[in-house]
């Protein structure tokens, strides 16, 4: 409901564009997992594909509940979630949480290798790095305190993923701003939230703004899998997204 409060300038429409599963796409790029890259290249639903492997059924037979569990497991895993943590979050038994995590790594084995490699690289270098070589220093990876060390290890895995996603949308924002200025677009970029950009758009510029935004977002960085952006229009943020 709070999104209804966000409105465009008088006489304008609200336009929202957001990346589709950008962090998992970055994970596919960094890990070079063949199966994950194939799912994205073929335009399939990654969460349904994971659920199909875990629950041993065809992708078309996956239920909404199974897909939801897989989705939350998929995103949790790239943040280094534990069996206990996933069981708590999904309110499911620990053996089912273990099945989801094991099933993920069975489906995408190179992701597990990437995670172990990420921790090892931070132990050697002292920092994690995004695709644009922005660094996050993690000295706690050498801590004798297991809890503190575990937090640094999860950051070693996640910082390159979340950090790269953040870098990519910043590049897109700069390029969109430059295109608007160069092409005399009066519409404005007004808000950025995680993987989403929002605009106040004059009706006569709708087609040009949508084309520019999607083009620049999808070409901000060339991953090993396609970058995909979805969009919507409305009189406020809630309607547009």
CA distance 96 to 91: 10
Location of structure tokens 């897109």? 172
Q: Catalytic annotation on 18?
A: yes
| Integer angstrom CA distances of residue 15 from 52, 169, 183, 232 | 35, 16, 18, 6
Q: Are 210 and 216 in contact (CB under 8 A)?
A: no
CA distance 91 to 54: 18
CA distance 224 to 101: 24
Q: Where are the beta strands (DSSP E) in the chain?
A: 13-19, 127-129, 135-137, 188-193, 196-201, 229-234
φ, ψ for residue 82, nearest 5 deg: -95, 170
φ, ψ for residue 235, nearest 5 deg: -90, -10
Catalytic residues: 18
């Amino acid at each position: 409901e709070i999104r209804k409060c966000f409105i465009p300038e008088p006489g304008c429409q609200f336009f929202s564009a957001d990346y589709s599963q950008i962090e998992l796409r970055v994970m596919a790029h960094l890990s070079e997992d063949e199966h994950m890259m194939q799912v994205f290249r073929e335009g399939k639903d990654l969460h349904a594909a994971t659920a199909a492997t875990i629950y041993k059924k065809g992708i078309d037979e996956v239920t909404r509940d199974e897909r939801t569990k897989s989705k939350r497991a998929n995103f949790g895993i790239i943040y280094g979630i534990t069996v206990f943590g996933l069981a708590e979050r999904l309110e499911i038994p620990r053996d089912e949480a273990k099945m989801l995590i094991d099933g993920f790594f069975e489906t995408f084995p190179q992701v597990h290798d990437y995670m172990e490699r990420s921790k090892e690289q931070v132990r050697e270098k002292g920092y994690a790095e995004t695709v644009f070589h922005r660094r996050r220093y993690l000295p706690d990876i050498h801590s004798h305190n297991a809890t503190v060390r575990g937090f640094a290890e999860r950051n070693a895995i996640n910082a390159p993923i979340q950090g790269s996603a953040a870098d990519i949308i910043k590049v897109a924002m700069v390029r969109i701003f430059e295109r608007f200025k160069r092409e005399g677009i009066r519409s404005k970029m007004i808000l950025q939230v995680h993987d989403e950009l929002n605009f106040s758009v004059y009706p006569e510029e709708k087609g040009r703004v949508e084309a520019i935004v999607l083009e620049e977002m999808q070409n901000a960085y060339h991953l090993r899998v396609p970058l995909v952006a979805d969009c919507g229009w409305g009189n406020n943020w809630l309607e547009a997204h």
